[in-house]
Structure 1
């Protein structure tokens, strides 16, 4: 009979006798495994770089030279674009124009630092608007009309106030107590993801739900899920990923150990699936509440549901399953589209204020005249210094570094100089260069001068019809040079511009006002003498994330002081 006890005893004796040799062998095996792991990672990085083929910096080409080349053969342009990756042209409003060689992808090269990729989803490879393109146009038009409702802005501001009081102000106070630098970007990334997530779903703000533990926990789950889906944090991990976290928290130097199994993959697989299930459950609950009791939510969900019900044929009182799915998809699109520009713009305004004490003092003096407990949309509309500062920040630090892509029509696109874009060409406009055009904004176009907006009224073009856009573009083409009004469009322009840009401006100004009236934002340690003009002129401190979102590379570090 097999004697297990004897075998174990012999094994223990062998280990004791040869312990040193076994440790050395184990160390060698571990070393080889580690080297292979690092080598494999290095190889994968090299492969990725080779596959993506980093494009050369965009070439500045005069329109006259390009016209001569294009007249020889319009296809020459796209052939050269294929070798370069992109092509840069001076165009309407003196904007650099980027033409892509790939019918489905636009590679926008603004400089060595600013590279953004956009995928075309609303046109076929031939440039013909597809079914989903027509759907997109209808959805966009619906959102434009809904966003005109002032109650929608008011409800978003209510969510903002609740979130500021519950988490943001305590974060600022903690930074003051510790006398430490506060990075503004992560603070406002979380703030806007939290605020938008509850507003989109039509849920009351967590801070306004009294004595209802389950409802509070429900909202906290939604917020955590949204943060996970927005890649702000790896939350909701399950299974083996959770054990990895325990090891990293309690085992010294384990943060340097590449644990097998890919912890990040496990978190994405487990955490994001769990997060998506939480959001889908809320959507299902929304439909169930309406179908069973006729209950409608507030926020964007309620307004969008009202609009869709109003468009139903006579006698129909409920949306079909497909129409509910369409509603959910629109809410998801707004969540994604809204949070990025807000968490880009807000910290940038405050960061520039920290480097411009004079302008911050002007804004604070305006705010000191507001006696209300909470700042509203009406208040910020009567604060000219805050408005000018916000618009100038938008000009020099637009949330997106390019406009949305467009596709030239089937009969080609005629530009000044008798040059025509070949049909079905994908086009985007480089906002960073456009909004610094010296002809439109003067020789000081790269200087930070909010006063340039004094007496000017910026009117978003979200409600513009295609006919109005066509008329405006034709008028602009007749101009001998670009002018302020035809060049300033930080949220894009025309019938497909950002539908919520006015709401975005209102809520960002409310957010900044609530902070400036309570706190003084000061330049971080070692940056006390850095002027706002130096911050924005060379743009060395900024880069673009995937999708073209502009972001301060170090997170907008500042010091916070409590106002007396």
Structure 2
């Protein structure tokens, strides 16, 4: 009898799989790609693999199958694309604005915020939040960038001229956490001064657990919810959500009290006297309405947590790898330093202003070239909600699309001498603007590009220019290319060890 039941279950399973994936299987024949096992697909590739191994896996596949191919994550049909022509059609298609299923593993933390929300909700949220990133709003955060960068300079002082290597990555990470907390919530966690605080440690660990799950074949399954990792994540999110909730409730109460007792008039008087009142991202969200209704505390928390999540690790990666490149190419570092001095002046303590940042063109070119070689987000994903045809090939409904930003930036088909650090690619006769812009998309592209890219570039330029006015960065004698780990964020597996030397100007 049990044999009959097993056979019946198998038949039902086969019928279900054919019904659910039959069309997808037929479409998949249009694409080249590696052989796959039944049901498991190519999922075993990623079983017990470290983030360092992910890059090699992708590189090997690209070498064999070219800049677009298909593979299977279990029964999930996935297309990998690192071709600018295809990407332009994909990233501008209205049926391909949803994020791929991997992003769903961040839902416990970020809820339905701008990063994860879909179609109509995403469109309405994006439209409502965009004014918060207007350049007039961003101007007020320059003081936050500069003040926290001064703290970073002070902390690094003890390591200067020691002839010892220092991993700059964790220090930059604490800096970006301080900046993003103050910018997002108007509060300071003083991460640089208190690296072991409960909130700071919770951010780091929650990010590690959430991102690891995206790439682990076993943890991607519902079994994850019964593991110690999930129990730990719940405790960490209780800390993170609790902190954000308390700040939201407190700030909403303050705004209501101000409105009731007439404090608004005082703020207006301050504006007339030339005294700037800085508004955190949270304050702007508290004033935001969608379809005439204010955002709930939960909706605000989703957006604040999203801004926090997206805004610290990504910037840390970009700043750390830029410092590495400047150390590796001393002539470029000198050129950047000369520009900084010509724009801001020789006083290393002088406060940076937005006008200074706008004039640091060669520094910006160096940051952009770093993001070509070391994109903070090496891969992004989209999910096809309705079957579409792109450049003559069908993408079935439910398919995931993985976009290889890292691979494309190092492809000799799209960049001359792709492994060379040449900031001039982004200026003058070599400007990338003369070519397909979709070959260089460190902040994504199309309607779902990064809303905070101007904020991020200004923050990078501010902290790097501050550091360079005080220190010269040098590669250790045994310095080697950083070992890259491809998580959701591109990270140096063994850090970014550099030596720092005080500038002569500081000894005057």
- Report the TM-score range of the alignment, normalised by the length of the smaller protein: 0.5 to 0.7
Q: How do residues 218-257 of structure 1 correspond to structure 2 at under 5 angstroms?
A: 224-231=197-204
Give, in whole Å, the separation in 1 of the partners of 2:315 and 2:68.
Answer: 40
Which runs of no fewer than 5 residues in structure 1 stay unpaired?
A: 1-47, 67-76, 99-103, 108-116, 123-129, 208-216, 235-262, 460-481
For residue 144 of structure 1, the aligned residue among 113, 117, 130 is: 130
Compute the displacement of 1:504 (Å): 0.7
Query: Is 1:382 paired with 2:322?
Result: no
Compute the displacement of 1:154 (Å): 2.6
Aligned 8 A contact 2:84 2:436 in 1: no
CA 299–90 in structure 1, closer or farther in 2 if over 3 Å, else same: closer
Aligned 8 A contact 1:401 1:544 in 2: yes
For residue 326 of structure 2, the aligned residue among 344, 350, 353 is: 353
Aligned 8 A contact 1:402 1:430 in 2: yes
Q: Could you say which residue in structure 2 is the equivalent of 1:57?
A: 57
Query: Is 1:293 paired with 2:270?
Result: no
Compute the displacement of 1:410 (Å): 2.0
Compute the displacement of 1:493 (Å): 0.1
Compute the displacement of 1:231 (Å): 2.0
Give, in whole Å, the separation in 2 of the partners of 1:312 and 1:285.
Answer: 25
Query: Is 1:523 paired with 2:475?
Result: yes
Q: How do residues 154-553 of structure 1 correspond to structure 2 at under 5 angstroms?
A: 154-166=139-151, 168-176=152-160, 178-203=162-187, 224-231=197-204, 273-274=238-239, 276-294=241-259, 298-308=279-289, 313=292, 319=294, 323-369=296-342, 370-371=344-345, 373-403=350-380, 405-415=381-391, 418-442=392-416, 444-455=417-428, 483-527=435-479, 535=481, 541-545=483-487, 548-553=488-493
CA 267–411 in structure 1, closer or farther in 2 if over 3 Å, else same: closer
Q: Could you say which residue in structure 2 is the equivalent of 1:153?
A: 138
Aligned 8 A contact 1:200 1:300 in 2: yes
Q: Could you say which residue in structure 2 is the equivalent of 1:471?
A: none
Task: Give the superposed CA RMSD.
Answer: 4.2
Compute the displacement of 1:380 (Å): 2.5
Q: Could you say which residue in structure 2 is the equivalent of 1:93?
A: 85
Instruction: Compare CA radii of gyration and give the structure with the larger one.
Output: 1
CA 326–271 in structure 1, closer or farther in 2 if over 3 Å, else same: closer
Q: State the SS of the aligned residue for 2:402.
A: strand
Aligned 8 A contact 1:225 1:278 in 2: no
Aligned 8 A contact 1:184 1:558 in 2: yes
Aligned 8 A contact 1:188 1:346 in 2: yes
Q: Could you say which residue in structure 2 is the equivalent of 1:470?
A: none
CA 544–53 in structure 1, closer or farther in 2 if over 3 Å, else same: closer
Compute the displacement of 1:361 (Å): 0.5
Compute the displacement of 1:449 (Å): 1.1
Aligned 8 A contact 2:327 2:333 in 1: yes
Aligned 8 A contact 1:88 1:96 in 2: no
Give, in whole Å, the separation in 2 of the partners of 1:521 and 1:229.
Answer: 31
Which runs of no fewer than 5 residues in structure 2 stay unpaired?
A: 1-42, 91-97, 108-115, 208-227, 265-277
Q: Could you say which residue in structure 2 is the equivalent of 1:255?
A: none
Aligned 8 A contact 2:78 2:400 in 1: no
Give, in whole Å, the separation in 2 of the partners of 1:223 and 1:289.
Answer: 29
Give, in whole Å, the separation in 1 of the partners of 2:328 and 2:161.
Answer: 22
Give, in whole Å, the separation in 1 of the partners of 2:230 and 2:75.
Answer: 35
Aligned 8 A contact 1:96 1:434 in 2: no
Give, in whole Å, the separation in 2 of the partners of 1:524 and 1:506.
Answer: 29
Compute the displacement of 1:49 (Å): 8.6
CA 120–223 in structure 1, closer or farther in 2 if over 3 Å, else same: closer
Aligned 8 A contact 1:196 1:339 in 2: yes
Q: Could you say which residue in structure 2 is the equivalent of 1:119?
A: 104
Aligned 8 A contact 1:225 1:276 in 2: no
Q: State the SS of the aligned residue for 1:381.
A: helix
